[in-house]
Every structure is written in structure tokens, then in C-alpha cells.
Chains A and B, each alone.
Chain A
């Protein structure tokens, strides 16, 4: 393993080993910070029966949309699939894709817990609602909580603005969102970036995701926001 250079030659190289049935996290929120070029690579690769974990489920053909259009995803964990997620919504109404709907802050906290080695945690969110169904409830210091399970994945596909060759990352504006959390919660994290710089040239004070959480880097300037 060459930890001093995790840069892959192309998007297709970076996703070449992803198998059918993989569980994959996808960063992005509100159109910003989606790993759109990695998603396109996955569409080209044609793997199927994927489990996706993502805040939403695409905008038309954009973001995750292409993977639903190609029927590559059979199960998704999301907080807000979105009215623009045309292909997902059609397949959901037809019973062709499974959805686990999760409150947004719990979606990312479950990832954070997984990355931090915490198997489950008590949360006040969803107490007394549909979200609590089937979950253990417990009163702690007089308040009701439900038990939420940590959420991990085989791969995380994320987007950052800049990496050094080791994988230290900085993000751009609100494109940060889920990306740094997902990087901690997957066995293999693949990041697409606008640019790669040499090791030692990034200010350690400003690094948001340290290299330990990043496995593969690819420079991708094709599709930015949808």
C-alpha cells in the first residue's frame, strides 16, 4: 500500500472493483457536493442490486438519478428523497425499490457513530412517531429516547474541492455537508476532487478530513453541480 499516493488515473479505475450488491454512501445536499463523476462511473460500470445511502435520490438524470434510471439501486436509506427524484419516485410507487426513511440529523449521526466505533445510541428524534416503530424505547433522566443503530457502508463516494496526494481534504462552502462524515463510515472512501496538490502544501490547521479516512482520490472536472 502506497499511502503517499492514493491518486487513481481515472474515475473508471477508481470504481473498477465495486461489485454487485455493494452498499455505497453518496455525499451531497441541495445540489452541492455530489460525487457526480463517480456516480457516472458507477453507471458506466453497470453494477446492480446496490444499496445506496444518501440524503436524497437524484434530480432527474442528475446526481443519483442516473443509477435509478438504470435500475442499479434496489434499496436506499435517505432523509429526503425529493420531488425531483423522478426515477426513484416512479419505482417507489411501483414497489420496485425499498426505502428506509430516516430523519436527516439521525442519518448523519448514525454514520458518525459507525465511524467512531459506537454501535448504537439513544436519540430523542422520532419518539412517538412512525420513526420509532420497532425500536427499543428507554426513559433516561425522565425523557423518552429510542435506540438508533450505527450505519456503515462498503464504500463512500464523496466530493471535495482539494486533496493532497495522501488524501487530506478541504471542501468548498456548503458542498461539505455529508462528505466528511461518510468518509469515516465506509470501508473504502473514494473522493473526487477539483485538484490534487503535493503533500505538505496544505495548511494542517485547515484540513477538514484527515488522510486516514481516504483511500482513493481521483481528479474529476467533468460534472460539477446539477
Chain B
């Protein structure tokens, strides 16, 4: 295909539109980590960091870092008004207990029924790491997965059944990729939006399970570059 798929930044920009004002939100590693920068100025999001912060603000400015105030990736951050600290147990009472409004994670594979695989590539070196991903996936009221629609070698990442180690079963609500926005519904995957310039048929060709859509599928709304 010669048409340009969305960049990782644009996937983040589109995903940011899923966040309503005032929401409690956890962002995972990878593309989700880019999303905070795209939250509209009139929207306040209370970001949860699983090491024990609710109300995490932007990265700390150079010279103002406090290494006791870091996110789960060890990055020095700041707080927004209304923020709170708590222990690891409370951090995951919030995730597993279903108290967060929206969680956004990266993905290696998502299945037709909303299973997520995102913590280990089979055969990879090293021990791997689960971190908070399983607790977050199981507990999320609404779980959005942001990822490239296909792997670098062209393999489809939206599949009938995952063959990578699973993070959680039947947990994904919505998938935002460089080609589409897809909702996981009881009767299958519903194609909600396509990337500008792409047709539903082109998205279907890059997706293993059957996508459900009517006649016209709207294009994603993105800011003009």
C-alpha cells in the first residue's frame, strides 16, 4: 500500500479523544505513553500510575526532578492539583477492583473475542515481565488497546485466537491502530472508523477475523498537521 498509515503519535492523538473530562485513567507502555500529550487543553484527566500515584502530571522539567516522584517507568514526573499517593495494594485495588474509568495498553495481539497478549513475544530472550498489565486488563471497565495494525513483518495482530502468551481473556473494549478504530462487541469486531484515505476493505485485508460494518465507515478525526 502506498498510502500513509497513521504514525504512532497519530494513534496516540486519536486515542486521546476517547478520554472524557475528569476520567481516572491508566496508560501503559509504548504508544499509550504518548497519549497524555494529546489530551485537549480543556480536558482534565487524572492519570493513575501503578507505583502509587493518582493525578500524575507531565514529566518533571530538567533540574526539577525528584527521584521519589517517578512513574512506573522510572521517569520523574509532577502532580496535578488533587493528586494522591498510596501503597501498591491500593494502586491495584484501583486497577483490579474496577475503579478506574479507562485503561489504555499496548498490544502484541488482540483476538476476535477481546483476548489480549501484550507481555511476551514467544522465544524472546530474558525473563519477560508481567508488571501491572494483568491486573489492569482484568479490572478495566473500558480497556483500549493502541498498537500498529500489523507487525513489522506484516503479520496480522488482530487475530481469531492469540498464539502469544495471554495477558487476560475477553478484556479489550476498543482497538485503536494506524488503520482503524475497532470495537469488540458480543457479536464480533465492529469497524467504527478507518484511517484517512483507507477503505473498510483495505482494513479487512490486514485483519484476520471478519470485521462488521455497514455501508460507509467514517474516517478518523485527526488534527491537521
Contacts and interface: CB of A to CB of B under 8 A. Distances in A.
Contacts of A79: 129-132
B126 A83 contact: yes
Contacts of A131: 130, 134
Interface string A106-125: 10110010000000000111
B87 interface: yes
B166 A177 contact: no
Contacts of A106: 134-135
Interface residues of B, number: 42
B146 interface: no
B89 A181 contact: yes
Nearest to B137: A125
Contacts of A127: 138, 168-169
Interface string B116-138: 00000000011111111111001
A176 B84 CA distance: 12
Interface residues of A, number: 51
B88 A104 contact: yes
B88 A89 contact: no
Nearest to A209: B87
Given A80-B130, A108-B92, A181 B87 contact: yes
Contacts of B168: 125-129
Interface stretch (A10-18, A44-52, A167-175, A211-219): A167-175
Contact of A181 (B53, B88, B134): B88
Interface string B40-56: 00000000011111000
Interface in B25-67: 49-53, 66-67
A166 B66 CA distance: 29
Contacts of B86: 176
A225 B68 contact: yes
A22 interface: no
Given A105-B92, A129-B168, A174-B51, A180 B87 contact: yes
A35 to B, nearest CB: 14
Given A30-B71, A108-B92, A101 B129 contact: yes
A101 B127 contact: yes
A109 B128 CA distance: 21
A129 B127 contact: no
A56 B122 CA distance: 21
A93 B126 contact: yes
Nearest to A144: B169
A88 B127 contact: yes
B127 A104 contact: no
B167 interface: yes
A128 B52 CA distance: 27
Contact of B132 (A103, A123, A208): A103
Interface in A34-61: 55-57
A87 interface: no
Interface of A: 29-33, 55-57, 78-83, 88-89, 92-93, 99, 101-106, 108-109, 112, 123-131, 171-181, 208, 224-225
29 contacts: A29-B88, A30-B73, A32-B68, A55-B88, A56-B129, A78-B129, A81-B129, A92-B126, A93-B125, A93-B126, A103-B134, A103-B135, A104-B50, A104-B130, A104-B132, A105-B88, A105-B91, A108-B87, A124-B139, A125-B96, A126-B134, A127-B138, A128-B168, A129-B134, A174-B52, A176-B85, A177-B91, A178-B87, A224-B67
Given A33-B68, A103-B132, 4 more contacts: A29-B72, A80-B130, A104-B135, A105-B96
